[in-house]
Chains A and B, each alone.
Chain A
């Protein structure tokens, strides 16, 4: 017999899966909508899910599972990323709640008329081995790599996260400021409430006042799933938030001072999640209490330093990590350094190799390099770039980059230079880039 995992982990069908405008949406309603949508999905074994509304995203995910389809989350909703997804899965359909003209006839606008009779049967169970989703990551070669996620692992991972965050399964509500299509947001704002019996908020607030208003429409215990950038904004905005069971942070390193300030200001615990798309979330910690990361239940740590891997529990097979760690035991480690090539801007990950490739692929760009500015300890730090392009203006280069990159990775500033200080081997020493950076800073200040 095949192992199966439930589509939702709620104790009974009357429990809320979501809160919309302050009103609960029950499991029974959610399952009925998902079942109806499953009948109306476009043809094909894959479904690109671009829904921005988190509840619709969850309905489309569940509908795809019921229809036997694999959901696809492109690296961004940028045309180039969508074209790549379609090229890799020529049979795919797509669903969205905002225009995405590049997808043409494949695209189903999320139907406004789902509803009808509430679901009254048992909660559907999905084959645990089924590939529920493919999430794309930036590889150092520049080509996005697909990561297949099995439903059984996703469910087990969400349950382990619930325990690691100190939440009670079946009794919490989640507000997210991060998109559901990236691994962190997928796990912590969609799978966590679905699999551990919680309820989600459909929105994705931007400003601190928006976060405050959205939290006020959720019942306690509330969890805010966010990034260091938004935590800083909420702390600096000096607003009062409703009582929070936890603030969850991931995607970029969180300064312990900021975590402490948020804990004081909002009388809550700030929990940090560590993960990488290939393995998913693997460890958690309370930032103000310890520098040690503890593995989620069932995951074991193998190896140390730059040569390590995780396996067991919700991890599929043995998955190598790329950051630098110091292993303390099977279940604990200290993070000693982030992989040099990977950069994070407000929760979006890319490799410098990929960005440099996009930059130098622009006609008229003779040479170019992205650079992480010195002292860029700040969570929202932008990347800068040095470009050799005698016949192009900065505006033209930025326009060309905007066509192929997520806006978070547009360089700021973009500095035009006569040449890059390459060593004879062609390498660009970090010190030389820092000298260029300081020179650019002096020009700006004059």
Chain B
């Protein structure tokens, strides 16, 4: 498995904590889909994660077009997006 960057590890911990996940943060494959078959998250989880990201980093996520949906394609995409847009 590909190793996490420090910021990916931070986002992985935030995901595990905000949705009470079984998988340890260190075991989240940074390139696997977060949705459905990958990590098994659904839209309710994504809503919880978006709130946590909003509070922690001041980034408001969107999912209403294809480009925005790519943000959730993997932990890596999500971490890159948040790192690029963070205000806190």
Contact = CB atoms under 8 A, between A and B. Distances in A.
B44 A229 contact: yes
10 contacts: A206-B46, A207-B60, A209-B62, A233-B50, A236-B55, A380-B47, A398-B22, A407-B40, A410-B40, A412-B20
A214 B64 contact: yes
A412 B61 contact: no
Contacts of B54: 236-237
A5 B56 CA distance: 52
Contact of B22 (A207, A237, A380, A414): A414
A414 B44 CA distance: 18
A239 B60 contact: yes
A8 to B, nearest CB: 27
Q: 4 closest pairs, A vs B, by CB?
A: A407-B42, A210-B64, A209-B60, A346-B44
A230 B63 CA distance: 14
A213 B61 CA distance: 12
Contacts of A394: 22
B40 A207 contact: no
Q: Interface extent on A, as a size class?
A: 20 to 34
Interface in A373-414: 380, 382, 394, 398, 402, 407-408, 410, 412-414
B85 to A, nearest CB: 12
Contact of A380 (B44, B61, B63): B44
B: interface residue count bin: 20 to 34
Given A214-B64, A407-B40, A413-B22, A207 B50 contact: yes
A213 B19 CA distance: 26
Given A206-B43, A345-B44, A237 B60 contact: yes
A203 interface: yes
B62 A210 contact: yes
A206 B60 CA distance: 12
A412 B21 contact: yes
Given A402-B40, A407-B40, A207 B47 contact: yes
Interface of B: 19-22, 36, 40, 42-44, 46-48, 50-51, 54-55, 60-64
B64 A203 contact: yes
Given A398-B40, A410-B40, A412-B22, A209 B61 contact: yes
Contacts of A139: none
Contacts of B60: 207-209, 237, 239
Contacts of B20: 382, 412-413
A421 interface: no
A230 B50 CA distance: 12
Contacts of A210: 62-64
Contacts of A144: none
Nearest to B52: A236
Given A203-B64, A213-B64, A402-B40, 15 more contacts: A206-B63, A206-B64, A207-B62, A207-B63, A209-B61, A209-B62, A210-B62, A233-B47, A233-B50, A233-B51, A237-B50, A237-B51, A346-B44, A398-B40, A408-B42
A219 interface: no
A229 B40 contact: no
Contacts of A206: 43, 46-47, 63-64
B44 A408 contact: yes
A377 to B, nearest CB: 16
A214 B64 CA distance: 9
A413 B20 CA distance: 7
